[in-house]
Structure 1
Amino acid sequence: MSVTKQIELVIGRYGRFIALGMVVLGLVAVGGAANTYLNPPVEEVTENTNTQTIQTSTETSAVVRNATPLYEEGQVLRDMPIYFFEASPDLTLRIRTDVPGDQQVNVSQRHVIQLRATRDGQTFYEDQQLVAADQTRVSDGTVWVNTTMDMEDIRSYVSEKQSAVSGAGSLQVTLQLSVTYETNDYAGTLTTSAPLALSGNTYWIDGDLSASRTHSTPVTRRSVGSPDMTTVGGLGALGIGLLAGAVAVLRRSREIDPLGVETDLARSRYDEWISNGEIPTKSDKEYIRTDSLEDLVDIAIDSNGRVIYDRSLDAYAVVQGDLVYYFMTDETALTEWFDV
């Protein structure tokens, strides 16, 4: 009961200020809910647009010119891991380049054999031999270029360089393909290479002659997300609850008599010092009013007396001879008491 009375005392004394604080907090919560709803999260999203892919690949083939125990004359060998000089002295490279098919694209291709002599990782000789070059403008999305290499001539060319290098270092032979392109929006060059191996009576391309590149244009746009309805609902409910609570506190504060509640608390706290009885109302007595029941109890304790509670007058008093110390919550009852 004392906790409830203490709460009532606080509300009775400070109800207006409590209600005002609750109104302010309620409005802030409602404003936060409205702001969260009206200003959903916005993030920037980057998307790649106008994507174009350019790619090139190479197929190999050779026609058998001289029959051998392995192959018949006229037989076509395709993408073999190894070819023989005796059977197929000519090697054909079929180069395919794919470009966007919805526009005209300029494509230039250059095919070379590159020689590089090195010692301890450092180059001391370098040479290139052009095998084929082609330039075209295509609108259907695909460029085909066929190049035939005389492998006997290439072997002689490489052998001459190898003899010159002798034991000074190592000679590397590389087949290199460069494809330069220009679309409506992009331009660039694809470069790919693979070692060209020449060993005894055989030769082969030791790798994949292919390459690709994708172009795109990044575009950044703002993406508006959905408001956090959990936050909106929570803040809204909190705000409405605070505003409703403020009204309830204000109404209750008007109904509570703080002095009466304070007296009830004091009565409960000092009940052992209070006895029921009748307070003298003779005119020869001198009456002194205290500010609170607690003050009156202090007088009783100091004088080793007791506090008398008169139910008919709803008043408390400590009688010391001709002095009557009293306390009552309803001052208007004084006129009915001793006609003051």
Structure 2
Amino acid sequence: MGSSLYLLRVKSAVADSGIAIAVGLLLMCILSAVIVSTGVITPVSNYSPTVLLSDDATESPSETEHLITQANDVDARVSHSTAAYTSGQQLRNEHAYPLGAVDNVTVIGSSKGEAATVTQQELVLAYQATLPGESSAFWSDTTVLAEQSFEDYSEGEVVRVQDTINISDVEQRQESLQDDFGGDVNVETMVLVRTQYEYTHPGKTTDPGDDTVISKSAEHTNKISFTEQLFVLPNTAEETSSTTGGEQSSQSNGGLLNILLIALTVMSGIGAVYSIVGARRYDSEHVRFELDEARHEEWVTIIDRFKDSSASTTSRVRSLSDLVDLAIDKHDRVVYCCTEHKYYFVDGDVQYEYEPDVYPSYANTFGDVVTPQATTDEEEQADTVESDPETDSTTEPQEEDTDHPSNDDPPET
């Protein structure tokens, strides 16, 4: 009922003031379309063609520049004693580790944003194969060891993700891949720290709403190398060594505002067309009755016949709402008679009535609506003839003329 009542209110407004509503919606449609097309207000105007081609256009930061620092730390525990290492010995951020004496290595990836907000960080183990003389890998395989998203990041905060890898399994996988690809192919194993972050790119004005949020992804790479007795897993605090570049975020203020403006343009255009069509199509009196019917349905009792009340006075009201208001004031209800197609409310010696021009939705509750049958012209003429006093008079018998003998009389002799 809530949605239908809302639609009826819209129809009623359109029926009463459809043209005025259409004019307002058309103006809104034109204004929002101009704003979107020219970018004179929205933050995305900094990226519109007219601004980017201008001499004083604001340049975006280079894609190779990042506003965060990344690093990885390495923790290992000696599990088998050797001449150089003791079982249980803790090794942290060493340049090299004994291959046969260390089974598991914990890698900790960290990121810090000074003028940026870190949103997500991953620790990845990657294998790749490269042909001689080429820098791009023709084959790669990655496994996400750990990942974490950050919703309440504070600038300058260091965030970390970590996981433990079995170094013997890593060595065996690399040797297996090397055997598959052959000796000419270079197979490498790396630990990657991938970080997603955002920063605000200032607009051309001092208005904070003119700023645009930029999203970037940075990747810090550390290669694992093996010798006959050692493996090397560097730990560094250097800036990122590779990057996947930056792009404008879909969550930027300008993009979101323009999406809303485009939606406003479309909706206002559709609303204007609907208002124009509805103003010509809807009958305001009928729509107003439908609205009253929906609003007051719970105050109406439906009956099939209405017996004349003992009220001495009958009074007609203007609308169903007026009749229901009278009943509510008396803490009573209104009845609708399907046979007579009328609403009634009796208050003491006064009987209030309302007869709508259209049938309500519940008019057929007790069967088909009984409509008064029109009298045909022939029936009206027949009734007129029967009731006409001139044609209804009886014909008086005429007196016989005795002066003229009848042909049946016998002749005189």
Whether the TM-score (by the shorter chain) exceeds 0.5 is: no
| TM-score (normalised: structure 2) | 0.35
Which structure has the greater CA radius of gyration? 1
Between 1 and 2, higher relative CO (CA 8 Å, sep ≥ 6) is seen in: 1
Question: Comparing both structures, which one devotes a greater share of its residues to strand?
Answer: 1
